[in-house]
Each structure stands twice: as structure tokens, then as C-alpha cells.
Structure 1
Amino acid sequence: MAFREFVSPQLSRRALFRTSGYLAAGGALAAVPFGRSMLRASAATTNWANVAERIEHYVGTGKVANMVASFGWGNEAPHSVARGNLGFGSTTAADLDSLYRIYSMTKPITGMATMMLIDDGKMGLDQPLADILPAFADMQVQKEYDGAITPDNLEAAERPITIRQLLTHTAGLGYGIIQQGPIKTAYEDRGLIPGQVSRLPIPGLGRGTPVSSLEAFADGLAQMPLVYQPGVKWSYSVSLDLLGRVIEVVEKKPFDQVLQERLFDPCGMESTYFRVPSSELDRYTDNYGIMAGVPLPIDPAANSIYLDDPAFPFGGAGLVSSPRDYDRFLRMLLGYGKIDGQRVMGELAVRVATSNILPRGVQTEGTWVAGQGFGAGGRVVDGAFGWGGAAGTLASVDFKSGLRAGLYVQYMPSESYPIRSDFLTALAKDLGREDGAFSIGG
């Protein structure tokens, strides 16, 4: 399927590609892709000994219940390094088919679904959001970041929000897990809460009751001021959740149905859910909160909030998946839209989605992506694309080397341990990097 001339009738596909050039404190800090060429390594020469040592360290000392690292070269099936059980006290070993809350690793999936509709010619990368959701036509912006929501602290948006900005967290939207002060309270009071952690009443995690539909979420968000002018600064946001509403309006069917039909089924992703079926409990992990260095259960599998229907499908942080399933998503990307001989996405759509599509002139200094690029819901570094999740997970595809890699674990907040940086350092050593490290930036 050809990538359409979607920005303007005069902009060709070739010109487009040239220009594309925790749900609690800090846990949504996303991991980075590996960002280095790994051409010296191959499946035959890599035994992942350093990765295995780090996994043994964290699981063996009781810091986490389990860890699974998944790897795949080119189109080959994934292999893994795994240790531990589904939870402390469980006797079921964690493996490639265990189920993990992937939180913000949902964002690249929503990003790719958006790019597929752009490829279909149903919307444009630089199309104003208000063309699809008219309520966003006349947005207000806070003059003082996280300041008062009063007329004297608001000004008109200088430019429209675009689909590109939503994909790259540059639309100026806020996030309840990032903002502070009056706007954070307003998000919570209005149920603009696109995520969930637990059924349990855990101090610090009570953020109000989410609205009951993507339509209500979008309508409520349109009434809130932006925290930055659109297209000015990278700021982690609810934009990928809002894209869920954009997708269902454009497709005229529920967002989760679109993901199932356009991505999960064609990719062969049979273990990716917004709601975990009770039939899959025997492979579902427990999630832990790290309190004073001690892991305590905050979302045990048997009583998990993911056994309930979510308030609405959270396109930014709502999915549970298995390492094997998410690897199939990565395989499709590495195949530039094809997996097992079946085309799921257009090749150029994948190339644009995994390239740096940040708006020209946007500020990234002092953010998690400083000095790096950003694509359709994920970070772009030196030929690699990926993102991480609030409970310590991360996944990336490196187009230079043909390596797919992911890390799966369940603890919050993710900065409680340096697991992700340790993993990236160990991975670098296993791949023969002389300096023994990858740049993790942000």
C-alpha cells in the first residue's frame, strides 16, 4: 500500500519521507532503544551471559519476582533469558508466554495504528486535529507552566494541534502523572485519567475515577488548557490516548476493535489485551510496588484490575502482553510492515513512523529525549526505535543490526532499581561493544 500524499496535495511521498527526517511518581520514564549498530554480533556468537548475570542478580536477591529478556535476529523466532516465577510464592516459571503489564509500550502500537490510517489516506500527518475533533479548534494555553487555570493565566493557542504533534508529544497537552498544581487536580476531578494500577486503595495512587469512554475523555480534554503552545516543546502527555479517539472517529468503529483487526490479528498477536481473560490467569504475572527497598504486591494477578473492563481502552498505557507477542510487533516493524510473508503496514509508513518526525524547531533540551529523535510513539536513536513501560519493561528494534530486544519485569516505580540501564550495559557487553555501554540519554 502506498503512502498517500496526505500533508497537502502538492507534497509527494518522497518529499514527505525526506522531511520526516508510572502512573505514579516518575515511573513512566521511558526506556530508550539501544541506539548503536550491532553488526559484529549474531545469534550464533551471542550467549547473553552478561544479561543473564544481571537477571540472576535482581531475581536471585529477591528484588523482583521474575525477569524475561527476549531477543531475535532478523526474521528468526525469539529466544530468551528468563529467571523467576510469576510472583513471589508462585511455582510457575516466567517465560516468553507470561503476561506483563506493558503500560507505555502501548504507545508505539497506537502510533503505528495512526500511521496506518495516514497510509490509507484517511487523515494527514500534519492535518489539524480540529478537522477530526472540532472541539479542539480554539485551545487555550497556560502562560505559566502548571500555573493557575484562570483567565489572566491563559492565552490563545498560536497554531493548531496536528496529528504529528500528537504522535510526538509536542501538542502541548498535559499528563496527570507529569503535571503539578491546579491542572493536575483538574485532570483528576474531570476523570481525565488514561491508566490504571490496582484495585487496592494504595496511598498515592488514588487519582479519581476515569471517564467512561474515549469520547468523554477527548471532550473533557478539549476543555482543559494546554501546558505549552503546540509544536514548541517535547512534553510527555496524554496525546497517544487522545489518538485512540481520533482513530475510532476516522474508522467509525471502537479503537480497541481497530487495533485487533489492523494490528493484533494480522501480526499473530494472540496474547495482547486491554482486559486479561480469566482463562489466562495461569500465565499472568503479579505487579509489585517497591516500598523502602521491599517489593510489596500492588496488583496481584488473581485480583488484578486488568481482569476488569477498563473505563475505556487506554492507547497510551493500557495493554497487557507477552514477550512473544510484543516481539511479533517488533518483527513486523523490522520487516518494514511484513511478518510471515503477510503485509500489515506499508513499508514507507513504517520507515516514516520509526524515523525522527519531531516538528521543526521543537525544544527537547532538558527532556527525556534531549538530543534524540522521536517517531510515532517511540524514541529514535541511531537507527533504533523503541519505548518503555511504567513497570520496568522496555522494547526496541534496531534496524541497522536487525536485532529485536525486550525486557519484561513488574515493579513500580521503575526508577526504584537501575534495571533498565543495567540491562542496556549488559546487552552492550554481550554484543561486543568495547566501551561496554549504550547511550541511554534523557
Structure 2
Amino acid sequence: MTMELSRRGMLGTIAATAFAAPALARAKTGFGAVQTLIESYVTSGKVPGAVVAIVRPGAFRPEYLMAGKAAFGADSKGGGAPVSPDTLWRIYSMTKPVTAMAVMQQVAAGRLALDMPISAVMPEFANMRVLVDPAKGLESRPAAGPITVRHLLTHTAGLTYTIVGNGPLEKEYRRLGLFPGSATSGTQPGDGKVPNLQGFVAGLASLPLYGEPGKSWRYSVALDLAGGMLERLTGKSFDAVLDEQLFRPLGMANTGFQVRPGQLPKLSSNYAWVKPDLTPLNAPVLIDGPLRSDWIGPPKLLAGGAGLLSSARDYARFGQMLLNEGLFEGRQVMPRGVARLATSNLLPVGVFQDGTNGFGAGGRVTLFDTVAKLPEGNAVGTYGWGGAAGTLFQVDRVRQMAVIVMLQYLPQQRFPLGKELQAAINRDVA
């Protein structure tokens, strides 16, 4: 759920943003605690604005909770309008569930299977090797088993990320340009250029794995590789695959890998609360906005792990489809059984995420109900994931609701929004 801060760059050259707490007009809502929470994030200056979308089963009738603007005052030009359901946000790792569902649609069509080796589609992964000691060097031995589709969907493929370590293998990722996303600002001397998606696939295939496939959970570029697999499987570009399988059927007209013509006024601004060395800042710093953005123009890499822009309205459509078990406005976008399977625990036997959680297709799955024990507890079976800039998403089948939160601040760990949001939801639906 975190991303490398250099992905956004510019921290060293931009002055701290000045802002004042705006006056907020409260809308009537059944989610008063959630509304109060997002208002507090705005009035305390943590973010300039936020949008929450909540959907229930059935027809698409989202409830929106909103506060603030798309940018702080000093950055108002081009992005300072009040937030709306159609404001564009960088969703970073909330791209992963989207990519994963596109893979599951191919599983439903019989073109993939969860336990199919990915080498059936990408032969260069047929004879992978595994590091002997990830901390010491690149010495490797043959992998005991193949990487499967299931492994890609659940971060158990044995891959890694430049944002979760800085060992010998992660340094090789950097050398080959295998970063989360396609921005080049903030790269370090010796870092390679970001390749296109099939170049990304080739780079990964040329390196050993961090660990044995299927043996442990490690956050990784697995969903980026899954996007490359979809390209190879379909013979279409990854963005065309998503458009055909999900965005057009769901009416997600504002979701994509770049700001489209006419969309720039909708783009929010993104801010960092830390320096490049992760030292905390007392005030946020602008790192990406309508006047200068990594999302203006075609991306080099169609990053299935972190590359999408979306709006609260669009992602709510995606959440509605999953809550409805694949059905959206009378159209079965995914078969019911496959949609349920995708949001259930798909981890190999004996593997957990964060010690106790399960993991479905691109998102965490709560295995044990903790609502009664913790103010921020989750209902059993809750599926969801978040993004580096604080965005959050979950489908809660027990309470029969999907919740999407859109705002922008980096890093995601700077504020405890996830726990605070869940506690607010629990108060509102108690």
C-alpha cells in the first residue's frame, strides 16, 4: 500500500504550501462519524479536501460525503475547486484490485486458471531461480515450483518491490528501472530508465526471485506482472484490456493511466508530509498537481500495480459491482461465483498476510471478525486495499456496503486514517 516517495519527486525544490482551515458546510448524511472524520482532516490542514462514496447492494445509488477543495489555497490555480464525486485522484495501489479483477475475468472465461503456471502465457518464467540469501547477494538456486496466477494475485510469487527493501535484488530492480509506476522524477544515479510493460516483464524474468513461489506473502510488483500477462494473453495493450473488460461496462469514464483531454480541471493536487529522506515535515509540500503532473501525457509503463487515476464516482461503480457479486446495473460484468471467489481468501495453505489476514485477488481479506474486540475492527470477510496517497477501499459483505475514500497525502502512514475510518464506520452502522 505504500509507494516510493521519489515516484512523485520535486520535494527538494518546492516551498511549503500555506493554507488556512476552510469553513465547511455539512450535508445531511447517515454517516455522521465518517463525515466528521473527513471534515477534521480538512480543518486541521492534513488534506485540502476529501470525498467518501458509500454504496449498498442493488442499483447504483451512491451516497457521497465531501469536504474541502482539491488543492490548498496557494495551489488553487487549476485544482482549487471544491471536491466533487468526479474529482480525479491518484489511487496508486488501489489499481491492484482493478488489475486483479481483470485477471479473474479471464479465469471466468477459461483462458486462465488460478493454479496455472504463468509460464503457459509467458514462457520466459519457466525456469526461475530463487536467491539463496536475499540479504547477502544474488547467488541463486532453481525454484522448487512455478509461479502461478494465484501467486501473482496474492503477492506470493516470490517477487519484491523497491519500496519494501533495499537489498541486492531491489537494487537490481532499480538498475533495470523496475519501479512502481512510470515517473522518472527523483531517480537516483545508476537507476535505469522505466521500460514499457513488456520490457518490465522481460526485466523481471531475467532476475532471480526473492523467495520461493507460494511460500510467503511479500508485497511486490506481482500485479504489474499480471498486467503484462494480460497483454500477452489477449494481444491487446493493458489499458485497452481494462477499458474493454471493466471501464466501459462499468461506465468508469474518468479512470485511466493519464489525464485525458478536458479532464485537467478535475485533477486534485498531491502533497507530501515528509522529505525525500522520510524526515517528517511540519507542513505539506506540493509534489504533483494540475500545473505539473506525472499523469499529464502518456505513461511509459502501464502500471497495473499503481498507475491509475480515478474518481470517487468511478471507483464506487467498481465497488458496487463487487458488492453485487459481479452485477452492475443489470449487466453481469463478472460471473457471480468468480466475483465471490475473487474477494475471498486465495492465499496458499498456511500463508497469511500480516500474520492473520487473508488475501484475495489484489486485496486483503479479514479472516476473523474483530468488530467486538476493537473500535477499528473489521467484519469477517471484508475485502479491500488502499493507496500510497491515503485512498482507501473496502467491500463489507456483513454490513452490506462498499466504502471508497479519496484524498491525497504522502506517505499513507503519516496519519492513521485507516483505523480512524474503520472506527467511524463502526460507530455509524452499530
TM-score (norm 1): 0.83
The answer to whether residue 416 in structure 2 is matched with residue 418 in structure 1 is yes
Partner of residue 257, structure 1: 240
**1:334 to partner: Cα distance:** 1.3
- 1:25-424 to structure 2, matched below 5 A, reads 47-75=30-58, 76-89=60-73, 90=76, 91-149=80-138, 153-196=139-182, 201-202=185-186, 208-291=191-274, 292-362=281-351, 364=352, 367-368=353-354, 370-381=355-366, 382-424=380-422
**1:210 to partner: Cα distance:** 4.2
Q: Any conservation in 1 of the 2:99–2:227 contact (CA below 8 Å)?
A: yes
Q: Any conservation in 1 of the 2:182–2:303 contact (CA below 8 Å)?
A: no
3-state DSSP of counterpart to 1:173: coil
Once residues 227 and 209 of structure 2 are traced to their aligned partners in structure 1, the CA distance between those partners, rounded to angstroms, is 19
Once residues 302 and 338 of structure 1 are traced to their aligned partners in structure 2, the CA distance between those partners, rounded to angstroms, is 38
Once residues 97 and 207 of structure 1 are traced to their aligned partners in structure 2, the CA distance between those partners, rounded to angstroms, is 39
Q: Any conservation in 2 of the 1:336–1:347 contact (CA below 8 Å)?
A: yes
CA 205–422 in structure 1, closer or farther in 2 if over 3 Å, else same: farther
The answer to whether residue 425 in structure 2 is matched with residue 427 in structure 1 is yes
Counterpart code for 1:236? Y
Question: Which range is displaced more, 112-121 or 87-96?
Answer: 87-96
3-state DSSP of counterpart to 1:302: coil
Once residues 277 and 146 of structure 1 are traced to their aligned partners in structure 2, the CA distance between those partners, rounded to angstroms, is 43
3-state DSSP of counterpart to 1:298: strand
Aligned pairs, how many? 384
Counterpart code for 1:387? W
Counterpart code for 1:195? G
Once residues 54 and 293 of structure 1 are traced to their aligned partners in structure 2, the CA distance between those partners, rounded to angstroms, is 21
Residue segments in structure 2 that go unaligned for 5+ positions in a row: 8-27, 275-280, 367-379
Residue segments in structure 1 that go unaligned for 5+ positions in a row: 1-21, 28-44, 433-442
3-state DSSP of counterpart to 2:91: strand
Once residues 134 and 397 of structure 1 are traced to their aligned partners in structure 2, the CA distance between those partners, rounded to angstroms, is 35
Partner of residue 278, structure 2: none
**1:287 to partner: Cα distance:** 0.4
Deviations 1:81-136 (A, max 9, x none): 11111101234101211100000111011111101111111121101111111111
3-state DSSP of counterpart to 1:406: strand
Once residues 174 and 83 of structure 2 are traced to their aligned partners in structure 1, the CA distance between those partners, rounded to angstroms, is 35
CA 61–194 in structure 1, closer or farther in 2 if over 3 Å, else same: closer
CA 206–240 in structure 1, closer or farther in 2 if over 3 Å, else same: farther
Deviations 1:141-186 (A, max 9, x none): 112134311xxx3111001111001110001011111121221221
CA 54–391 in structure 1, closer or farther in 2 if over 3 Å, else same: same
Question: Which range is displaced more, 290-299 or 387-396?
Answer: 290-299
Q: Any conservation in 2 of the 1:210–1:311 contact (CA below 8 Å)?
A: no
Once residues 206 and 340 of structure 1 are traced to their aligned partners in structure 2, the CA distance between those partners, rounded to angstroms, is 50
CA 209–328 in structure 1, closer or farther in 2 if over 3 Å, else same: farther
Partner of residue 7, structure 1: none
**1:383 to partner: Cα distance:** 2.2
CA 54–206 in structure 1, closer or farther in 2 if over 3 Å, else same: farther
**1:205 to partner: Cα distance:** 7.9
Deviations 1:350-409 (A, max 9, x none): 1111111111122x3xx53x2111111011111221110010001111122220101111
Compare relative contact order (CA 8 Å, sep 6+) and give the higher one, 1 or 2.
1
**1:65 to partner: Cα distance:** 1.0
Once residues 231 and 146 of structure 1 are traced to their aligned partners in structure 2, the CA distance between those partners, rounded to angstroms, is 20
Once residues 207 and 403 of structure 1 are traced to their aligned partners in structure 2, the CA distance between those partners, rounded to angstroms, is 47
Deviations 1:255-278 (A, max 9, x none): 110100111000111110101114
Q: Any conservation in 2 of the 1:23–1:195 contact (CA below 8 Å)?
A: no
Deviations 1:177-230 (A, max 9, x none): 112122122111111123146x7x55x888945433211111110111111111
3-state DSSP of counterpart to 1:184: helix
TM-score (norm 2): 0.85
Once residues 222 and 347 of structure 1 are traced to their aligned partners in structure 2, the CA distance between those partners, rounded to angstroms, is 34
Counterpart code for 1:94? V
Counterpart code for 2:130? V
Q: Any conservation in 2 of the 1:146–1:179 contact (CA below 8 Å)?
A: no
Once residues 182 and 72 of structure 2 are traced to their aligned partners in structure 1, the CA distance between those partners, rounded to angstroms, is 22
3-state DSSP of counterpart to 1:307: coil
**1:25 to partner: Cα distance:** 6.3
The answer to whether residue 13 in structure 2 is matched with residue 24 in structure 1 is no
Q: Any conservation in 2 of the 1:168–1:376 contact (CA below 8 Å)?
A: yes
Q: Any conservation in 2 of the 1:98–1:284 contact (CA below 8 Å)?
A: yes
**1:422 to partner: Cα distance:** 1.2
